[in-house]
Structures are given as structure tokens and as C-alpha cells.
Homo-oligomer: A and B are copies of this chain.
Amino acid sequence: MELYIKEVAEKVGLPAHTLRYYEQEGLLPLIKRDVNGNRIYDESDLLWLEVIVCLRKTDIPLSELRVVVELTKEGNNTAAKRKQIFEKHKEKLMEKQRDLDSAFQKIETKIEFYDELEKKYHNEIENMSLKV
């Protein structure tokens, strides 16, 4: 499978210049080129990009993704280190989960409060009209 940058952009949901930017920042392994120097992405590039996109949505820093790429280039003896990076991010995810849960609670309380406030306000208006 061979894809040009625009198709990849489409598939992974990133603008093409962000793909170039990621490459420049060392987040992608060496990307092949065609005779005109245009980037050609293969299946494995796409799979890795999908990991990037998914983890970026939970704010993994580009720097950590870069390190994973560097370690991968170093070889299979770096598996443990790479795993560590993901374990570390998993910890972050668990914290995010807790923050999310608290926020859900807080926001529900607020919404209920505003429902009450609205009710009271409408009642006031109604009473005012009755008094006229």
C-alpha cells in the first residue's frame, strides 16, 4: 500500500503540513519518496500515525513520541524502555480519568443549580404578573 501525503492526511485526520511538521520533529521514521521527491507512506507509517493521533488526543508530548521513534531505530533491545514510556503515559491517562470524573460531578451540580435558579426566576416573573 502506497499513499501520498494528502491521502494520509485525509485518513488520519491531520492537515498535510502537520504530517510534515511531525516528520521534521522526528515523530516519524524515514518516509520514502517518489521520483519527484514527494512523500510516500506505507501501511506501517499509517499504523504508527494512528497511534500518534490517538495518543495526542490525550496530550502525550511530541517529545515522548520522538523518543519512541529513536529507540525503535536503535533496535529490539530497547523494547523495555519504549514500554516504559507508554506505561508512564498510562499513568497520566489514569489521572486524566480522575480529573474527568471530578469535572463531571462538578458540572452536574452546576447544571442542577442553574435548573433550580431558572425555575425560581420564572416563578418570580409569574408572581409578578399575577400581582399586576
Interface string of A102-124 (1 = CB under 8 A from B): 11101110110011011011000
A93 near B83 (CB under 8 angstroms)? Answer: no
Distance between A70 CB and nearest chain B CB, rounded to angstroms: 15
Expressed in whole angstroms, the Cα–Cα distance for A54 and B79 within the complex equals 37
A83 near B114 (CB under 8 angstroms)? Answer: yes
Is there a chain B Cβ closer than 8 Å to A89's Cβ?
yes
Copies of this chain, count: 2
Beyond A79-B118, A104-B93, A120-B76, is A86–B58 a contact (Cβ under 8 Å)? no
Is there a chain B Cβ closer than 8 Å to A73's Cβ?
no
A57 near B118 (CB under 8 angstroms)? Answer: no
Beyond A96-B100, A100-B100, is A90–B107 a contact (Cβ under 8 Å)? yes
